Chains A and B, each alone.
Chain A
């Protein structure tokens, strides 16, 4: 009931005080000196509190990158943990300035919720995880299975499509959070856990016995995950979009947090445009000239952000795959800064 109450209050606030949060997000953030960013309630590698109480993960760093660009300090972020069901209402009502919560970019969400997707910070796809003891080798063997997942996600729709297409029967147990779906799977309430593959790897690190489960090879959907902003504030939309692009461009040009200072003196005009010693990219966004420099210096380029949070050296051990740069066989491609 508490959740329903929060939701209802959010809706009420959204309707009565709507106009105040309608435009000028940049000014609001600058005045507050703090970026309010919606993240998940706990998903290792994407947004989770570490043992020191610090929010870590790819999604959390995407928030920090924007804070660094706008406020010059990556630590000026107040993180708001949201469940899948609360996230859009929180953004619509102006409770948060941006949402960075492994959220799939879909047509419905982009067109009918009053939201804009500002890019893709992780290309994902939905997969299945089962206990090894079941001896299942392929998702096609799952007819009749009980499936656990998180309620209110695209996952719920994809799994229904997939089983319908293949004429297979299934029982769906939809729970409130991804942690709850993991514990339901762990306790044996269901045979299969389904989610975006990155999440499955992430949840596996928290299983009672990670070696006992296996992720099936099939990927049944496209899940481009990325930051979301409110529709109707084009300046803010541009800032979030281009902060991510700047990180991808920086990786492509080889600018890292370590050599960002050297890039200022570089002979390469492209690099100089990114770090703000040439051109007026910052001014065009309404930011200081060193916006992208701050992001890269404090948070790193896209590759650094990826490797630090979900890469091969982390417990998640995810290879770059589709998230490699376009010139390295992946899909990450950013328009040029000029």
Chain B
């Protein structure tokens, strides 16, 4: 039972360098200074050496005209714009492939993970073969395989596979009609936003009602109806304010519509099916990690198979699934840089490739590119940590 007065006595007599508190702070400060000094020396050394050798440094190149075109851009871009803009084009293309890849890999992965646990012999074996094959072939090979397979099997533009007069598939890509909004379409967008807000409010209300009275409300069906119905009705009332821009063959290629380039298709295909194998295993592990007693207890309470999986097994499995799932999402985002092998214009191919080569400013460009991947990974992992916390077991 030491009280505060006895604690203070020895401190006053100890020399300052023997005080553990002072020492720990001092060492941290020294370590901090050493690290800052180390990086400052590297930074300074780099600048001095590059200047000495007549290599241009700095970020002024971002404002000069790029002078080259890019195969695919989500934002407005042509060769009269700046190198800074090429950075944004590459960045948006990288984000596009990462988001699409994560979306599809999650769906395929969950389906395959559950399929592997199926009681149906055929389904579970198909899933096993899929996982064990694609998981064990290097991703780069898969990307090149799909790219060459896509290019080899598709026809020339003039002999395209066509679905009616609207959708065309050939070596240059998949051409689908582009929606062109007309006057009044804004209201449809507004209706859609209102519907989303409505669904959120309704879900909260339904949960509260169930907690209070035990009565259930068909949230899913009502929500779907609201999301589709409300914008749909407005769309009809406004006299269908949208037209479609159909692709058509003009000269060498198709013009109009939305082209999906074969590089994107091959890369998305490879990334999705490769990452999905790992997600499938994670899902399987998560489900197997929930004790069988849990489903037996749920059955004993009278829950059917569907609600047992949805309300008892999956919520507990999610706690096991999410942390490794995060790693897979991070891998997918970083693996998307393999795009450069087949010419999909992602950040590495465009900015760290062509822009670097045209300007020669390797240090700045490699630094910026690394920073982008770092930030992207931190955002994904931050989001997944937040999601994990929400899903974590709350003990009462």
Chain A residues close to B by CB (< 8 Å): 1, 3-4, 7-8, 10-11, 14-16, 18-19, 22, 84-85, 88-89, 92, 108-109, 111-114, 134, 142-146, 151-153, 156-157, 159-161, 164, 170-176, 180, 184, 187-189, 191, 230-232
Most chain A CB neighbours (cut-off 10 Å) among B42, B69, B171: B69
B153 to chain A, nearest CB (A): 11
A-B complex: 9 closest residue pairs judged by Cβ atoms: A152-B357, A18-B49, A114-B55, A15-B46, A113-B360, A112-B56, A114-B53, A160-B79, A144-B251
**Chain B residues, CB < 8 A from A109:** 360
**Chain A residues, CB < 8 A from B45:** 15-16, 18
**Chain A residues, CB < 8 A from B349:** 151, 174
CB within 8 A of A173: which of B46, B343, B348? B343
Bound-state CA distance A112–B338 (Å) is 29
Find out whether the CB atom of A114 lies under 8 angstroms from the CB atom of B50: yes
A193 to chain B, nearest CB (A): 14
Find out whether the CB atom of A114 lies under 8 angstroms from the CB atom of B54: yes
**Chain B residues, CB < 8 A from A111:** 54
Chain B 28-58: CB-based contact to A (< 8 A → 1; otherwise 0): 0000000000000010011001101111100
CB within 8 A of B67: which of A7, A146, A157? A157
**Chain A residues, CB < 8 A from B358:** 108, 152, 156-157
Bound-state CA distance A311–B49 (Å) is 43
Chain B residues close to A by CB (< 8 Å): 42, 45-46, 49-50, 52-56, 67-71, 79-80, 148, 151-152, 156, 171-172, 250-253, 255, 262-263, 334-335, 337-338, 340-343, 345, 348-349, 352-354, 356-360, 362-363, 366, 369-370
Find out whether the CB atom of A11 lies under 8 angstroms from the CB atom of B363: yes
State whether A176 and B341 are in contact (beta carbons under 8 Å apart), knowing that A151-B349, A170-B69, A231-B54 are contacts in the complex. yes
A99 to chain B, nearest CB (A): 13
Smallest Cβ-Cβ distance to A192: which chain B residue: B252
Find out whether the CB atom of B352 lies under 8 angstroms from the CB atom of A230: no
**Chain A residues, CB < 8 A from B56:** 112-113
12 new A-B contacts, CB < 8 A, other than A14-B362, A172-B68, are: A7-B352, A8-B366, A14-B363, A15-B49, A19-B49, A85-B354, A145-B251, A151-B357, A152-B356, A174-B349, A189-B151, A230-B53
Bound-state CA distance A297–B68 (Å) is 44
**Chain B residues, CB < 8 A from A230:** 53
Q: 14 pairs across A/B with beta carbons < 8 Å?
A: A14-B362, A18-B49, A22-B52, A22-B53, A88-B357, A92-B53, A113-B55, A144-B255, A146-B172, A151-B354, A175-B342, A188-B171, A191-B252, A231-B54
Smallest Cβ-Cβ distance to A170: which chain B residue: B69
B106 to chain A, nearest CB (A): 23
**Chain B residues, CB < 8 A from A15:** 42, 45-46, 49-50, 363
**Chain A residues, CB < 8 A from B46:** 15-16, 18
**Chain B residues, CB < 8 A from A157:** 67-68, 358
Find out whether the CB atom of B79 lies under 8 angstroms from the CB atom of A164: yes
**Chain A residues, CB < 8 A from B370:** 8
**Chain B residues, CB < 8 A from A176:** 340-341, 343, 353
Interface of chain B, helix or strand or loop or mixed? Answer: helix
CB within 8 A of A85: which of B50, B253, B353, B359? B353
Bound-state CA distance A3–B359 (Å) is 18
Find out whether the CB atom of B171 lies under 8 angstroms from the CB atom of A189: yes
Find out whether the CB atom of A1 lies under 8 angstroms from the CB atom of B352: no
CB within 8 A of B343: which of A1, A8, A19, A175? A175
**Chain A residues, CB < 8 A from B337:** 1, 4
A95 to chain B, nearest CB (A): 13
Smallest Cβ-Cβ distance to B172: which chain A residue: A146
Find out whether the CB atom of B53 lies under 8 angstroms from the CB atom of A172: no
**Chain B residues, CB < 8 A from A88:** 357, 360, 362
**Chain B residues, CB < 8 A from A173:** 71, 263, 343
**Chain A residues, CB < 8 A from B363:** 11, 14-15
Bound-state CA distance A6–B54 (Å) is 23
Bound-state CA distance A83–B188 (Å) is 51
Find out whether the CB atom of B251 lies under 8 angstroms from the CB atom of A143: yes
Smallest Cβ-Cβ distance to B364: which chain A residue: A11
Find out whether the CB atom of A112 lies under 8 angstroms from the CB atom of B55: yes
Bound-state CA distance A85–B148 (Å) is 23
B62 to chain A, nearest CB (A): 14
Smallest Cβ-Cβ distance to A84: which chain B residue: B357
Smallest Cβ-Cβ distance to A88: which chain B residue: B360
Find out whether the CB atom of B152 lies under 8 angstroms from the CB atom of A187: yes
State whether A92 and B354 are in contact (beta carbons under 8 Å apart), knowing that A146-B252, A160-B68 are contacts in the complex. no
Find out whether the CB atom of B343 lies under 8 angstroms from the CB atom of A151: yes
Find out whether the CB atom of A188 lies under 8 angstroms from the CB atom of B156: yes
Bound-state CA distance A18–B369 (Å) is 22
Smallest Cβ-Cβ distance to B369: which chain A residue: A4
Find out whether the CB atom of A146 lies under 8 angstroms from the CB atom of B360: no
**Chain A residues, CB < 8 A from B252:** 134, 142, 144-146, 191
B269 to chain A, nearest CB (A): 16
B48 to chain A, nearest CB (A): 8
Most chain B CB neighbours (cut-off 10 Å) among A4, A153, A175: A4
Bound-state CA distance A35–B357 (Å) is 25
**Chain A residues, CB < 8 A from B156:** 188
**Chain A residues, CB < 8 A from B360:** 88, 92, 108-109, 112-113
Bound-state CA distance A189–B171 (Å) is 6
**Chain A residues, CB < 8 A from B359:** 108, 112
Smallest Cβ-Cβ distance to B254: which chain A residue: A144
Find out whether the CB atom of A187 lies under 8 angstroms from the CB atom of B171: yes
Smallest Cβ-Cβ distance to B154: which chain A residue: A188
Most chain B CB neighbours (cut-off 10 Å) among A19, A108, A159, A189: A189
Bound-state CA distance A172–B345 (Å) is 10
CB within 8 A of B354: which of A134, A146, A156, A191? A156
B230 to chain A, nearest CB (A): 40
State whether A174 and B55 are in contact (beta carbons under 8 Å apart), knowing that A7-B366, A11-B366 are contacts in the complex. no
Most chain A CB neighbours (cut-off 10 Å) among B68, B152, B353: B68
Bound-state CA distance A153–B56 (Å) is 19
**Chain A residues, CB < 8 A from B340:** 3, 176
Bound-state CA distance A19–B340 (Å) is 32
Bound-state CA distance A111–B349 (Å) is 25
Bound-state CA distance A101–B54 (Å) is 22
**Chain A residues, CB < 8 A from B334:** 1
